[in-house]
Amino acid sequence: MERTAAAATMLIDNDRVRVTRFDFAPGAETTWHRHEHDYVITAITDLNMRLEEPGNTEREVTVAAGEAYFRDEGVEHNVINVGSEPMSFVEVELK
């Protein structure tokens, strides 16, 4: 299934952090990627995501607007907006 790509807008990129805003139309995806740094996600809108993960697994995750979570480097996945509304979050990578 062909999906549209989420829009990634670089907000800050220096020697300590990289901050990127991601905006997803319904059905949009990040495409497969591996996180090279620890990172924090802060939800701007409610997030209704499907995470495709290695081993041909997937899971659905919801995060309320304003909530944040931390993940260690090495996470590999594709993030898809499975909601009926656009969704947005800010990702802060700790270099």
Question: pLDDT by residue (tens digit) across 31-82?
Answer: 999 999 999 999 999 999 999 999 999 999 999 999 999 999 999 999 999 9
Looking at the DSSP assignment, which residues form a beta bridge with residue 82? none
Give the tens place of pLDDT for each residue, 8-18.
999 999 999 99
Full residue range of the structural domain in which residue 65 is found: 7-94
Contact 23, 11 (CB under 8 A): no
Residue 20 covered by a domain: yes
Q: Which strand (E) or helix (H) includes residue 20?
A: strand 17-24
The pTM (predicted TM-score) of the whole model is: 0.95
66 belongs to a structural domain = yes
- Specify if 2 maps to a domain: no
| Residue found under tokens 């996470």 | 75
The count of structural domains within the chain is: 1
